[in-house]
Amino acid sequence: MKLLIAFLAGLLMSVGMAISKMIDPQKVLAFLDLSGDWDPSLALVMAGALAVYSVGYRLFIHKPAPLFDKQFYLPSARYIDKPLLIGAAVFGLGWGMVGYCPGPAISALSSGSSGTLGFVLAMIAGWFVARKLKVS
């Protein structure tokens, strides 16, 4: 059941990203281009997602456990460290260079674009390299 719920949540997120065009790198790059032809529409998508998450978090965080698991898995780190800063920088560079971040890139694989496939393969390779280096 846990796997089915995870699949359905991922599917819902993917459909939402496709409808909002977050899987279109040109749309994302237009959102990031504050000094050029800026497209603020993705800010509304992000604000909507944040509003839904905030309400859900407040409704369920006081429960002893989620419905389909034995515990909540929340971040334990309470400080900004080197791996967080490096990860944020690499994420931002990748997002700004090609217009993809991990979730939308995986959702966009269905487009069949070789550029999207190349990005996802590079992202996976980056995960393996980061684990081998154990940046800390």
Secondary structure in 3-state letters for the chain: CHHHHHHHHHHHHHHHHHHCCCCCHHHHHHHHCCCCCCCCHHHHHHHHHHHHHHHHHHHHCCCCCCCCCCCCCCCCCCCCCHHHHHHHHHHHHHHHHHCCCHHHHHHHHHHCCHHHHHHHHHHHHHHHHHHHHCCC
Distance CA 135, CA 113 (A): 32
Amino acid letter, residue 81: D
Distance CA 111, CA 20 (A): 15
Return the C-alpha torsion angle 111, 115, 117, 118, nearest 10. Answer: 180
pLDDT digits over 31-82, tens only? 999 998 899 998 998 999 999 999 999 999 999 998 888 999 988 889 999 8
Residue 135: predicted pLDDT: 56
pTM (whole model) above 0.75 = no
Whether residue 134 is predicted with pLDDT greater than 80 in this model: the reply is no
pLDDT digits over 93-118, tens only? 888 888 888 888 998 998 888 989 99
Residue 1: predicted pLDDT: 85
Token pair 């217009």 in the structure block, residue: 99
Q: Which of the residue ranges 2-11, 110-119, 127-136 would you say has the lowest mean pLDDT?
A: 127-136
Residue 126: predicted pLDDT: 86
